[in-house]
Each structure stands twice: as C-alpha cells, then as structure tokens.
Amino acid sequence: MSASYIPYHPEQQQLLPNALQDWLPQGHLAYFIGDTVDSLNLSAFHNRYAKEGPRNQPFHPAMMVKVKVKVLVLVYAYATGVFSSRKIAKKLHEDIAFRVLGADNFPAHRTIRDFRALHLSEFTELFVQVVRLAREMGLVKLGTIAVDGTKIKANASRHKAMSYGRMQTTQAELKAQIAALVQKAANTDEVEKDEPDLDIPAEIERRTARLAAIEAAKARLEERQRLSDAARGRTPDDARKPKDKDGKPKGGKPYLRDFGVPAPKAQDSFTDSESRIMKRAGGGFDFQYNAQTAVDETAHIIVAAEVVNTSSDVQQLPMVLKAVKAHTGAHAAQVLADAGYRSEAVMAELAISQPDTELVIALGREGKVLVKPRDEKRYPHTTAMAAKFETAQGRLDYRKRKWIAEPPNGWIKNVLGFRQFSMRGLQKAQAEFKLVCLALNLRRMGAMQMG
C-alpha cells in the first residue's frame, strides 16, 4: 500500500491573492512599529517635501519612516545584523513584515540611503517623541536613571590615517617630489626622451592633492593641541616652563613640546577627521566615538542618547542630564554613574543646576577600597560622596547601576549588531546613534506591550 501525503502543488496558482497581513500573525512586533510611527508627528518630513516644488512623485514619508534604517529595521534588519540600504531594499521584496509596513512599495537602495541622510534632524526629533510617548505609557518614571558610555567604531579606517610625525616627513618628501617634477617639466624634450610614459601634469596634480590633504590634517592636529594646551593653562610664550595662575614660574618638569605642537604619535583620519583614536575593548585602538546613554529604571528605556569625540566620560554628565530634561520635561530623582564620571567640578555644577537630584557616583572601581580626599574643604562634594558610599543604602543604590545602564548598550552591540557607524562626522554620528536608540526603545516598548 502506497503512502498518503498531504497535497503539494507548488505550480498551482490562487484565484485571488492573499492579503499580506494574513501571513503575519496577530501581535507581531511589526504591527506595533507601524501603529506607533503612525501616531507620531511626521509634519517635518512632509514639510521638507512640500517646499521643494515640482519634481518626480516621492514615496510617502510615513512609509519611508517605517522602512528606514533605525526604525522598522530595528525589529527586523537590526536583529539580524542588517544595516545596509541594499539589504533593506532586498528585504522589502523577501520579508513579509517589511512588505506589510512598506505597503508593497519598493524604493531602490539609493532612495533609502538618501532618505536617511536627508532626514537626520527629523529622525532625531522622532527619538524625542518616542521617549515622551514611553513616559505617557508609564514606561519612563524618572525615579532612577543610570548613565553609561560605550565606544563605537567610526566609519574610518586605521589604514587611512597618519601620525603627526609621519605627516611632517611625508610633507617634506612631497614638496621635494613636486619641485623635481616641476624642474623636469622645464626640460620637456629631455623628459619625453628618457621617460616617455611619464605624465608630469598628472603626477604633479596627484602629489599636490595628497600634500593638501596632509597639510589640512596636520593643521587639525595642531589646532586640537592648541586648544588642549590652552585648557591646561599654557600660553604660546611660556617657553615650555610651567606657570601658576598669575603667570609666575612654578616648579615641575618643563613641557616636552612647544605650545600647540602635537606629539609625534598623535593621529588624524583622512576619512572621518572628527573621530578620535580611543582604546578598544579587549585591547588595541581604533578611530571611535564615545556614545552616552541615560537609561530609566522602570523599563530600560533610553531617555537620552548623545555622542562625543572625547574618550573621557568625566565632563559628559551635565550634557546627558540636560538632554534628559529637554526630552522629558523633568529631572530624575536619582542619577547613578560609575567612577568614569567622578569629578568635583561636575558634582558642584550639578548641585546648583539640579539641587533636587541625588547623585550616586562611584569614586573608584566596585569592590575596591575608596580613599577619601585629604583636603575635605577643597573637595566637599567628593567627601560627601565618599560618606554616602560608607552607608548600606548608598552601596545598595549604586548596585542598581550595572543592571540599569549596561544592558541597553549590550543590546545595541550584540542584539542589534550595531558596532560601527555607517555615517561620517560627529553631527551625523550623533543623529545615527539616536536612530539606533529610537529603534531599541520601540523594540522594548513593543515587548512590554505584548508581554
């Protein structure tokens, strides 16, 4: 007796096509993303198109917002490590959830890429709208927030960078080569005889362009160093000798370099000049940005997301807390931060600007013995913080920081797979990181809604 199988006729066509929504189960996160985006104020997207006058008919902005990287892609593409516009365009054809939200629109990858670049400020505003929506839903209460920083690789190659010392050497070499080529050009007949394949104008142009790029990078490093030296109290005429606030010489070793002269190993990138060399987790160095997040305790919603191009977290706390106030309209009752944010000046500043916010900032690594300041009058806020950590309640409060602040950064890198910016420049990196956090917030809110 032959076996009986379930009928299988792949060539058979249906009389009427099924609705895409019939293939996507109820409660799917795609529906939550679609409904949430539809509830947001998208007037900024519409206004940009309305001002441009006659042109080819554009895709509907609401559809593009859903499809665009960092919103819908959080749920689908980001979860599988998809960030490129080409792969998003492909998924619009192959992925049911993408097709449901795209309503069977199939923009080319260039359209998706250009839409993202054109609407960075609008996507940044959407991040704020989603934070406020989360607060209305009761997912943000601002009882306790935790601040943390994480380094994210810039869209810059270490192989397309150069140290200050190498710049000086290469600059001299290129000038000598250009001078030699110009001299050869003066003896055209002789050059054509000895080197018939040599295109002198093209060679001069190529070397001149490279020289200009190196000189621009060298100038950026020098300007950065001048600002750094000035911030430390140095002056152009200090003759490398340390001076006090009154300009009088004081003890100590002389400075190694003149004012505004970078160290020979200082580097600048030719692809993203606003990124900085920072230590990479696990060892080594890369051109990176320092991403800062403030996370609310209630549902791990990111209420502030900022990016800076300095590796230190010390001065970033006031900026992050100012963003929290701007996004939510209120200050948090309690702020937790690790020892990277420890600063007497910062604590003094926040005591004035946010007197009702309790700061819990570690003064050293967790589990290590905390050393009190020797001069309690000079460091009153640090002394008070040390006393707080001597209490059981202070230590208990701080223990919450790790499980509030660190999971979202882990989700961004390990769940969404966002480990490198796709756009170059500090301003674009700031906007792109807000898009990532917007996407993560939507995913979190959808999970809470369905849970």
| Confidence at 298, pLDDT banded by 50, 70, 90 | very high
Task: Give the separation between CA 392 and CA 397, rounded to whole angstroms.
Answer: 9
- Write down the pLDDT at residue 27: 75
Supply the pLDDT for residue 143: 94
CATH code of the domain occupying 140-156+272-450: 3.30.420.10
Q: What is the pLDDT of residues 246-287, one digit of tens each?
A: 667 777 788 888 888 888 888 888 888 899 989 887 788 899
Percent with pLDDT over 90 in the chain: 31
Q: Model confidence at 242, in pLDDT bands (50, 70, 90)?
A: confident
90 Cβ contact list (under 8 Å, min separation 6): none
Mean per-residue pLDDT over the chain, rounded: 82
pLDDT digits (tens, 9 = 90+) for 385-418: 999 998 999 999 999 999 999 999 999 998 888 9
3-state secondary structure of 449: helix
pLDDT in tens, 331-358: 999 999 999 999 999 999 999 999 999 9
Contact between 382 and 373 (Cβ < 8 Å): yes
Spatial separation of the C-alpha atoms in residues 418 and 289, rounded to whole Å: 13
The b/e string for 55-67 (b: 16+ C-beta within 10 A; e otherwise) is eeeebebbbbbbb
- Give kind and range of the element (H or E) at residue 303: strand 302-308
Condensed to tens digits (0 to 9), the pLDDT of residues 127-139 reads 899 899 999 999 9
Nearest to 244 by CA among 255, 236, 232, 260: 232
- Across 203-212, average pLDDT: 86
Helix (H, G, I), strand (E, B) or coil at 200: helix
pLDDT at residue 156 is higher than 60: yes
Q: What is the pLDDT of residue 362?
A: 92
Predicted confidence band of residue 75 (pLDDT cuts 50, 70, 90): very low
Phi, psi angle pair for 314, to nearest 5°: -55, -45
What residues does each domain of the chain span?
A: 20-118, 140-156+272-450, 160-269
pTM for this model (two decimals): 0.82
Sole residue written with tokens 């003890």: 251
DSSP state, 415? I
Q: Using CA atoms, how far apart are residues 92 and 14, in angstroms rounded to an integer?
A: 22
- Pairing mode of beta strands 358-361, 285-296: unpaired
Q: What is the mean pLDDT of residues 434-440?
A: 88
Give the separation between CA 433 and CA 272, rounded to whole angstroms.
16
Q: Would the pLDDT of 1 be above 70?
A: no
d(CA 355, CA 375): 24
Query: Is pLDDT at 432 greater than 50 in this prediction?
Result: yes
- Which of helix, strand or coil describes residue 327? helix
pLDDT band per the 50, 70, 90 thresholds, residue 68: very low
Structure tokens at 285: 């160095």
